Amino acid sequence: MTVRLYDKGFTHAKGLLRRGEITHDGRDDWSEHAPSTRENNAFIEKHGMAEFAKWHLAEDTEKTEGTRGRYLFPFGDFAKLHRCAVISGESRAAQYDHPGVEKALKELLGGIDNKAE
């Protein structure tokens, strides 16, 4: 598995942050807030894989382009950036040694927390 920061996703997340399109949810809420398989598939059907990909901070370059499995570390619900998704992703990125993704997630979390003050 070769995981790298997905620049288009990071740019999209920073845009959501800049516009204040954020959900200031709790640390453990991502399991409830994450889009379901059905919601993911419906989004792809309506908007396409390129738009789906922009809701992820990383990609596995060993996976086939244009497939859901290529995109990792989702950060929102197709409407807002979720604090809980960023926290969840940050711990997974550290656990699996993806320093570029971890750094991006830390930056996003800092921005989210600054907006809450």
31 CB-near residues (< 8 Å, 6+ apart): none
Q: For the whole model, what pTM was predicted?
A: 0.94
Mean pLDDT of the residues in the chain: 95
Per-residue pLDDT at 1: 78
Q: Please tell me the predicted confidence (pLDDT) of residue 10.
A: 98
What is the pLDDT, as a whole number, of residue 102? 97
Q: CA-CA distance, 8 to 75, in Å (whole number)?
A: 13
pLDDT in the model for residue 79: 97
Q: Indicate the pLDDT class of residue 117, thresholds 50, 70 and 90.
A: low
Structural contact between residues 48 and 32, judged by C-beta atoms closer than 8 angstroms: no
Dihedral angle sign, alpha carbons of residues 108, 111, 116, 117: positive
Q: pLDDT for 62-101, tens place per residue?
A: 999 999 999 999 999 999 999 999 999 999 999 999 999 9
Residue whose C-alpha is closest to residue 10's, from 105, 83, 94, 78: 105
The pLDDT of residue 43 is above 90: yes
pLDDT at residue 115, as a whole number: 83
